[in-house]
Amino acid sequence: MARPKPVTFDKYHVAADNRRAKFDYHIEDTYEAGLALQGTEVKALRAGEASIKESYAEVRDGQVWLINANIPEYSHGNRLNHEPRRPRKLLLHSREIERMFGAVERKGMTLVPLSVYFNRTGRAKVELALAKGKQAHDKREAVKDRDWKRDKARLMRDRG
């Protein structure tokens, strides 16, 4: 019997990436969440100006919120421009929210956004991960593995 394929999301246009998250956290589960945005936020995201490096998500009153994500004001926006660091609601199924809430409360995990992207239908999505923080020795081990893979590839290329 064939193995089931891992879940991949339809990332048509990536607007923001959190590359540091995989270095700082052990990623357990990933979820795809919709993002409730205002009009000028969508245009600023399409311009690729967003940053989610310091952001995180939290469960409040049965809803999930993206906190501290920076989507700067749209350059051609008028007086109705959005606030850059406002909390944004994430759109998830209630069963997924309950699972996240249980993991955060009981296991001490963190909700970390990995990327903000647009799918093929043009909808803004967030790849959200349930993660556990890495210790300093885990980070050193990751750096050592990365360096060894680079050296191994260099040796294989040189020796044929």
Write the pLDDT tens digit of every residue in 2-53: 555 556 777 888 999 999 888 889 999 999 999 999 888 898 898 888 999 9
**Lowest pLDDT segment from 39-43, 60-64, 143-147, 149-153:** 39-43
Task: For residue 15, give the amino acid letter.
Answer: A
Is residue 117's pLDDT more than 70?
yes
Q: Nearest to residue 16, comparing CAs of 124, 157, 131?
A: 124
User: Where residue 68 falls among pLDDT bands split at 50, 70, 90?
Assistant: very high
The pTM assigned to this predicted structure is 0.81
Residues with Cβ within 8 Å of residue 119, at least 6 apart in sequence: 9, 10, 11, 12, 125
CA distance 143 to 138: 9
Determine whether domain 13-134 maps to CATH 2.40.280.10.
Answer: yes
φ, ψ dihedrals at 81, nearest 5°:
-65, 160
Q: Domain spans of the chain?
A: 13-134
What pLDDT digit, counting tens, does each position of 71-100 carry?
998 888 788 788 889 999 999 999 999 999
Arithmetic mean of pLDDT, 40-68: 91
CB 46 within 8 A of CB 141: no
What six digits make up the tokens of 113?
């956004």
CB 131 within 8 A of CB 30: no
- Containing 142, the helix (H) or strand (E) segment is helix 136-159
